[in-house]
Amino acid sequence: MTHVTALVILLACLVLSEAQHQPGYCAFYEECGSNPSLTNPSSKVPCLNYTLAPRVTGFTYRKLKQVCPMLDNGADNTYACCSMNQLVTLEWSLGASKALLIRCPSCADNFAHLHCITTCSPNQSQIVNVTKTMNGTKEFKEQKVVVAYQAYLSTTFADASFQSCKNVRVPATGTFAISAMCGRYGAKLCTAQRWYDFQGDSSNGLAPLDIDFRLIPEGVTEGLPEGVVPYKGRALRCNETTPSGGGVCSCQDCLDSCPSLPPLPLPAEPFRLMGTDGFLVISIISLCLLLLAFLFYLLVTCLVKAMERKDEEKGKGKGKDQNGNDVTQQLIDPSEVTCIDRNSLAAQEFLGSLFRTWGTLMASHPLKVLLASAIVVAVFATGLMNIELTTDPVELWSAPNSRARKEKDFHDKYFDPFFRTNQLILTAPGREGYIYDSLLFGMQNFSGIISKDLIVELLELQTRIQNIEFWSEDLNRTASLKDVCFAPLNPSNSSLTDCAVNGLPQYFQNSLVNLNAKVNMTELGVTKEVDWRDHFIYCVNSPLSFKDITDLGMSCMADYGGPVFPFLAVGGYDNEDYTNAEALILTFSLNNYARDDVKFKVALQWEKEFLDIVQEYQRNPNSSFTFAYMAERSLEDEINRTTTEDIPIFMISYAVIFIYIAVALGEYSSWKRMLVDSKFLVGLGGILVVGFSVLASMGFYAWIGVPSSLIILQVVPFLVLAVGADNIFIFVLEYQRDMRMPGEKREEQIGRVLGNVAPSMLLCSLSESVCFFLGALSTMPAVKSFALYAALAVLMDFVLQMTAFVALLSLDARRQDNSRCELVCCVTVSTRRPAKPNEGFLLPLMRKYYAPVLLHPVSRILVMVVFIFMFCASVFLMFHVTVGLDQELAMPQGSYMLEYFKYLYKYFEVGVPTYFVTTKGFNFTTVAGMDAVCSSVGCDQFSLTQKIQYAADYPELSYIGIPANSWVDDFIDWLNPGSKCCRLYTSGPNQGKFCPATELANQCRKKCMVNPINRPLRPSVEKFNFFLPDFLSNRPDLQCPKGGLGAYDKAVVRDENGDIIASRFMAYHTPLTNSQEFTAALEKARELALNITKSMRNISGTSPDFEVFPYTVTYVFYEQYLTIVPEGLFNISLCLLPTFVVCCLLLGLDIRSGLLNLFTIVMITVDTVGVMTLWGIDYNAVALINLVTAVGISVEFVSHLTRSFALSIKPTRVERAMEATANMGSAVFAGVAMTNLPGIIVLAFAKSQLIQIFFFRLNLIITLLGMAHGLIFLPVLLSYFGPGVNKAVLLQLQQAKAKASRDHELSNNTNGTYYNMSYEDNEKKQEPDSVCPKYPTDDSRPSNVIEKEQEQEERVDYF
């Protein structure tokens, strides 16, 4: 047997050696049927025929001139080694490749040049060396056929041809055409030799025989067969025109054609001064200036006080009254009373009188008031039947008139919503990798997860998911994946195999048979087995291939007909080293539907079944994978789940607050009266008032159609409770500390107490309500609805406190006066109520210890320095707060979505797709219109797609990772007569209509267009409109990869007149991992789209309102972060304004008090943002809601104290600050701080990260900072800069006292009562309003100061 084989080989060599290599001779000529070694009947091979090159004439000459114009030497002087049949076959063979390369004419020309030389050159025998023949038949005669030969090319020609083609792109996929023409190497590793090797490999499904291309450097002759001369023809550069009139290739396909672009602007440098952080420098300078200003103020104050003491020592002496007694009270002359003082007094008297009358009336008819209040609340609350609860994140965080929302609506209207993604990312930790010695690809490292058993297991899971079936009530039948799946190539009548499922098994068409396939293959004399691994390596590098280069002969395309790009199949690889991937990716894409579409519910139901299967598989101990997963519905599901699960936490929080209020409001004078003096029902009533106010607010807005949200249900009750509890404490504690006057009824006492405290309650409630109403000017729906609900709830809370709560307190006071026990009213106790009012333990503590220590001269200086430092530090930190909200924070702890996000950021190698969408008003049918969009030959160098390409060249700046596809480019290429895509039927009933490439050539002999002379191919308006529908419905295949079905059928929208009213061009972002990158990507995409819009509007006939805008599914969520900083400043400023205005008005135009009030609230807000930076709390819409809330709560901490100080009649600022701190500070501490803190601490146990961060952390910061500023900083600030004593009040008291003295003298009554007088010590107090405490001074008033000893009187607070 061995001898026979050797003899056959020897004879073959003798036959082949008969041919010589000399000019003018052919090595083979004419076709001799199909290649006997291949199963493909279309693989026509030539006959071995060493003969002179014949002259071509007639039809053959014309065909040669059409197919191989570079061989044309004139009609009577053209010789070629190919027949008419060979030219037709060559034209057909070049067609498939030209379909990819035709967009760059010089590349297509060079590609044709190569194969024309080897097939038809008249000097063919000098270029090729036949290496293998087989027996074939021609015209029933046995004939030697050529099945393999060597082709000798100079490296100059070969490299130039390769360089002209290596950057040609496939617009539909954004990839390089060379990646589908270089086999296993793909575009990145492709070289000229590898490119030619692939073209000459008959196993690629395109080459009819094997061609061994030998690239010979210039001047090298060693090893060449005798007479062989490597072809040295000139290859065109990609920036050259072709002899047939083809233009230069575009910049996108040819780097040499690119214009010189100015250097791109680098990202803005951080703000710096003196080589360091500019904001730090400014903050330090501000700190120094504020401290110097404060020290200067102290110094000036000391000097002024010293001068006043010297004047006093010179003999002004002490003031005497008419009886010669020393007095400390000023004698006020009416001319000294300013207009502001009079207005302030008038405002207080008016409000006090009004609320006193109102309170008396409410307390006198408690049951009627409670009934009326209940009816009003019930009327409002009935609106809850119509409440609309918004859970859609788009509706919550994107304003209907915002740009992103309008763009989303436009996109969804014309292109359908973005498809729904259901995805698994699987890993196999612990699986060891291995090395595979491939026949074709050499030694290859494989990670442990790229293993056959795992792929089989993944395929089983995929098949199980694909076969999901369930009963659909909406469809009234059994539904499955095919009812809702995204089927790009068969959208109208989908089967399961039409559904777009992307994953590694799709490289094997989801077939176990293909996965198990193996075959022995010989390469370069080496025979080895090739299997699924060889196919996998080939497909990840050439995903567009319809046939691999192995003897397996399998396609790389998915079973639904589309390509599976490697980044959709595997993840966690470096530099396209796909075999070392660490993860497998499996994606099921569903159509998205409007929420009112019946199929929307079907899609939701399928996704639920999907999650059930995946979760069951995850629990299976036999599973080989560790994986993360998600469904399109998962985000909304998890947000709703955590909200539901955290409702008990909020309930516990409210319960803790209720228990505290009920306990803290009690007066516990003795054990026997504990149930009598407790305020359990009053506390419950206060909580109910808060709850009813929230219900009334929600009911009212439900009536008028303002939607609510879960965040309103969580935040508004909390806010109103904080505000309402403060007012309750102030009112109840003031009542408990008050002594009923002789002859005064209980109802009158309640009315008088309300008259004292209600103006303060009105000040806070009105400020907050107006603040929130103005906050409703926000464009964010969630912020707007929250502000509206909160504003009305705060207002209703105040109204109910002035009515229902006053009535409830009146009933409780009646019970307490009768010594009846709470809860069991029929039981009475004998122990009498103490005659002295109960001050509790907090008021004496703050009066005796806290206020004196806080307002000690040294303490005051320390407090000012510390808080100034805090403020300046917070200003610095405020400029470094992170803006955004990472989507994983919306998930509860332990959510499977957190694991998915971690896997997504770690393993996914490409970002979200983004569309550049064009609106109506641009004419695509004109030459200028097409040139302004396309990126192939003849197109504008700054066209739409070319600008996107420029951006993709700088992904770190533009966030564009893959350039846009272009239906215009592929449409032009599809029309090109050089490809086989667009033909017309020349006979039969469809004559003149479009003929797809799958039809036989003899039925469709006419091309849709002819090549124009000396200009790029562009269809006329008529042909554009006629053939565009055919292009969009043409399914791509091996013969015509440019068909538009799947890639573009939904990318172009035309109206009834055929005008294009919308189109889109899809690109991909780089991987985006946090909200800052998503926001920056949106900003850069909009900048790019604006630049494109401006240039396209310059095209004649373009509408001035034409626009190009970017769109992806995430933009609608991240747009807010482009404007949230200025919008937040605007909203907070609107909230701060009413606090100043209302404070000034209700204090009688007391501007100083209003400014100090405002300044303290600003400090609280700034310090809150500063601490947010330190604690890692990002600034976003949720944080903004809490900051607006912070302003409202800060009003509670600040305004009560400011008003108490402004109305105090103590002689010095320090004494007035002490009085306000002790009396009002204790109520604020008990009512605001201690009400909020227990409830806030409970929120730390919530599962939701949003609640933990933005409700627990942020509200804790707000409460602690509010308490620190309201109870520490503000008293000190008022002691330095607070308004002077109201002289109108002093004059009124002076006149009342004089009148009382006269009445006393007339009646000889020694038992006078002074109402609302301040307590004075017997001895002269040292003036503490100074840092120089050595010298006793007055308060620098113009009036004479006199001293008068008074007997101590019991204090009655003047509010």
DSSP string for 1285-1354: P-HHHHHHHHHHHHHHHHHHHHHT------TTPPP--SSPPP--SSS-TTS------SS-BB--------
pLDDT at 449 over 50: yes
The pLDDT value given to residue 1344:
32
The pLDDT value given to residue 206:
77
pLDDT digit string, tens, across residues 936-967: 888 888 999 999 989 998 999 999 998 898 99
- Structural contact between residues 462 and 505, judged by C-beta atoms closer than 8 angstroms: yes
pLDDT digit string, tens, across residues 1211-1232: 888 988 998 888 888 878 877 7
The pLDDT value given to residue 839:
63
Locate 1273 and state its tokens: 């900083």
Lowest mean pLDDT among 399-413, 1001-1015, 1142-1156: 1142-1156
The pLDDT value given to residue 1003:
85
Average pLDDT rounded to a whole number, residues 1063-1074:
92
- Structural contact between residues 1056 and 897, judged by C-beta atoms closer than 8 angstroms: no
pLDDT at 1326 over 60: no
pLDDT digit string, tens, across residues 1002-1012: 888 889 998 88
pLDDT at 779 over 80: no
Q: Which of 966, 943, 938, 965 is nearest to 1088 (CA)?
A: 943
Q: Which residues contact 216 (CB under 8 A, 6 or more apart)?
A: 152, 153, 154, 155, 224, 230
pLDDT at 17 over 80: no
Element (H, E) at 490: none
The pLDDT value given to residue 1025:
94
Locate 1120 and state its tokens: 């807010």
Distance CA 1143, CA 817 (A): 37
Q: Which residue has the higher pLDDT, 1310 or 353?
A: 353
Average pLDDT rounded to a whole number, residues 1067-1088:
93
**Eight-class DSSP state of 240:** S
β-pair type (25-34, 44-52): antiparallel
- Tokens 């109206």 belong to residue: 1055
Distance CA 247, CA 1014 (A): 8
- Structural contact between residues 846 and 1222, judged by C-beta atoms closer than 8 angstroms: yes
pLDDT digit string, tens, across residues 73-105: 988 899 999 999 999 888 888 877 777 788 888
Locate 1319 and state its tokens: 């307590």
The pLDDT value given to residue 1346:
31
1252 pLDDT tier (thresholds 50, 70, 90): confident
pLDDT at 996 over 70: yes
Lowest mean pLDDT among 16-20, 843-847, 1037-1041, 1193-1197: 16-20
Query: Distance of alpha carbon 824 from its chain centroid, rounded?
Result: 57
The pLDDT value given to residue 1111:
95
Average pLDDT rounded to a whole number, residues 300-326:
65
pLDDT at 836 over 70: no
Helix (H, G, I), strand (E, B) or coil at 142: strand
Average pLDDT rounded to a whole number, residues 1323-1327:
37
Average pLDDT rounded to a whole number, residues 209-215:
92
Residue type, 1171: V
Locate 838 and state its tokens: 């109960």
Distance CA 27, CA 134 (A): 15
Distance CA 1293, CA 369 (A): 36
Average pLDDT of the chain?
83
Q: Which residues contact 475 (CB under 8 A, 6 or more apart)?
A: 483, 598, 599, 602
The pLDDT value given to residue 327:
46
pLDDT at 1318 over 70: no
pLDDT at 893 over 90: no
β-pair type (526-530, 519-523): antiparallel
The pLDDT value given to residue 155:
93
Residue type, 394: V
The pLDDT value given to residue 888:
82
1329 pLDDT tier (thresholds 50, 70, 90): very low
- Tokens 């109204």 belong to residue: 799
Locate 850 and state its tokens: 């806290």
The pLDDT value given to residue 896:
92
Distance CA 106, CA 92 (A): 19
- Structural contact between residues 939 and 948, judged by C-beta atoms closer than 8 angstroms: no
- Highest mean pLDDT: which range of 167-176, 896-905, 1253-1262, 1335-1344: 896-905
pLDDT digit string, tens, across residues 614-661: 999 999 998 999 999 999 999 888 877 877 777 787 778 777 877 777
Distance CA 1109, CA 911 (A): 18
Average pLDDT rounded to a whole number, residues 215-239:
90
Q: Which of 591, 584, 546 is nearest to 566 (CA)?
A: 584
CB crowding 782-801: b at 16 or more within 10 Å, else e: bbbbbbbbbbbbbbbbbbbb
pTM exceeds cut of 0.85: no
Residue type, 194: R
Locate 68 and state its tokens: 């191989």
How much of the chain, in percent, has pLDDT values that exceed 70?
A: 90
Average pLDDT rounded to a whole number, residues 1316-1334:
37
Distance CA 1054, CA 84 (A): 44
Q: Which residues contact 1303 (CB under 8 A, 6 or more apart)?
A: 1309, 1312
Region label for 320, one of left (φ > 0), alpha (ψ between -120 and 50) or beta (otherwise): beta
The pLDDT value given to residue 417:
79
548 pLDDT tier (thresholds 50, 70, 90): confident
- End-to-end CA distance of the chain, in Å? 122
CB crowding 637-649: b at 16 or more within 10 Å, else e: bbbebbbeebeeb
Distance CA 1199, CA 1224 (A): 10
β-pair type (210-216, 570-571): unpaired
pLDDT at 315 over 60: no
Query: Distance of alpha carbon 954 from its chain centroid, rounded?
Result: 22
Locate 940 and state its tokens: 């504008």
The pLDDT value given to residue 897:
92
Q: Which of 943, 1274, 1002, 1169 is nearest to 257 (CA)?
A: 943
Lowest mean pLDDT among 212-221, 272-281, 447-456, 617-626: 272-281
**Eight-class DSSP state of 438:** E
pLDDT digit string, tens, across residues 694-723: 899 999 998 888 888 777 777 777 778 767
Q: Which of 54, 117, 64, 113 is nearest to 87 (CA)?
A: 64
